[in-house]
Structure 1
Amino acid sequence: MAARGQNSGQPTWAVYLDGLVAEHGSLAAVSERLAALHGWRDDVDSITRALRRLRTRGSLPGGKWGDRLLRTFGLPASVDARLRFMGSYHSRFVDLPVPLCTDLVQLWDRPPTSESRPGRLWLSLARATLALRARQPDEAATHLATARTLAPGDPAAQIELALGESLLDSPARPTAVSAALAEVPELLQALGGPDADCLRARYVGQVSHALNHAGAIDQAEALHAALPDTPGTHPFARSRRANGLAYGRFRHGDLAAALDHARLAARHAGDAGHVRLRAMALLMVVRVTTPGSPEAQDALARARTIAHALEDATLLARCDAARRGRHGAP
């Protein structure tokens, strides 16, 4: 029996097969489906014996039968959900310290997970996000290139990929909307629910970043204002919307409204437990309030505390920029 706290949820071949048996009734039923899908080239008894041997392989490569199982049945829904959680920037996975996130991704990057296409896809996206948080753009680009070969057919992953590539493009061309984002509006139409809200808010944020740098402040502000903002909208999306509006009001000199929006962004982030997002909202408070004021000093100190706790190099760099009074468009 695993010690308390040691069960990561990442399946071994035995756990994976147990799940298939629970779903289909017996190991023989799983074997029969495999035999039928492969034209009965192997008899059911032979396949059953092969699957029993596979059970003993733990997290070692699954070989021919592991590959056939994954192509036939895919990953369990619970495992797929965990992988998407790790690979999505708007999930609370980014609210864990970077070294811990790295350890968790490494733990899951083994068979059977790593031998499935969704596993390789979402683990690559997770590694790209970690590289961006660590200010390692070349490493992020390598992981995004891997994800690009695996993402077709999964709209959420394609959007996640496009947003990551856009972030890499931004420093070289801050006033131009990245070409990587061209297909995102159409892909968003294929999604619904909280993930769609969050992805749409992130897309608007990246488009607005370029617009703000180009001086199109009104257009960027209008994009944020058009985002949904209801009690049913995901708090991550509501926080990103409020943060964008805070910057727009700030650029227009409406400091009171800007501060209200920045405080609201911090509140929405806190409501959902998005610690990293809360730090970004606190940095907006620093930007729009009176330099050196008690509120600005307190907000910066709190954001820096979060950045240190998360061991997040990118967030720490933003805190340093805020301390020096150097702010670009959000």
Structure 2
Amino acid sequence: MKKYRFGASFGDFVVTEMKEYKSRRVEGQESARDYRRGWVVWLAILAAMGALVVRLGALQLFEGGEYRILADENRIKKIRLAAERGKILDRNEQDVRTLGEAAAHVVGYVAEVNEEEVGLLRDAGQKYELGSQIGRTGIEQQYEDKLRGRDGGRLVEVNPNQEVVRELGHQEPQAGSDVTLTLEAGLQQTAFAALGRKRGAVIVSNPKTGEILALVSSPAFNPHQVTASSEFFNRAIGGIYPPGSTFKIVTTVAALESGKADGNFTYEDTGVINIGKFAYTNWYFTQYGRTEGVVGWEKALARSVDTFFYKVGELTGAET
């Protein structure tokens, strides 16, 4: 029996062609998508490069100056040359700063200005920089403008290691002016030593001119090593004390100039004087129970006889 081999039917051919057509169409679509994706990527790259070029152009054209300044600030450096402060001299031209604690409250001390102070001082028209010294108390503060002088400086170019490559400019500092006081250094030291570590003050003046020859306050402080616990209070000018027997000089002058008592005036001290309803004693009577007898001006001042000056004050009156 003859066998027949059946071939593909027309329908099979149609199905096969349709499958191949769909496959080619899918491949074409994917190829088109890949093509579009490629263009998108290239466009994105071009856009990024364009933005970068625009930014670089803006930096060069509009912000280049600012960045050049920043670069110069890193490359060019100003070095401050501090001016030497003027000396603080006594009447014999001895530097009073060398007395240390003995003249601390008169001389005062200096310290560096902080950032806040620099701004405030500049606003006030005064040129200070971080690291500048400024007087804090005493003569150092009172005569700051005269003592401080004018700082100089060097303008230099440095390498990345901050090493000086060359000098671009130089200005010498101008030393401050000296200040001369009426103090006498030897007398100042003597007064300080006499007080020791006791609390108190000593003022020595020339009665003819009023010049201050010594002014000491104790406890003192080290002006070269100031701390938070340093004793800055100046008892010689800041303390409030009763004048005590020093006022007897005022009473004497008032009585003699007003004519209420003359140079021959005397008074007999009995230890106690009654003025109105009050009774006042002399220190000699209070401490030792003794009296001074007849007292004139010289003895009254030498012995500081309280009753004598009570009587002189009564004669002179409060209105003189």
Q: When the two structures are superposed, what TM-score results if normalisation uses the length of structure 1?
A: 0.24
More strand by share: 2
Which structure has the larger Rg over C-alpha atoms?
2
More helix by share: 1
Q: When the two structures are superposed, what TM-score results if normalisation uses the length of structure 2?
A: 0.25
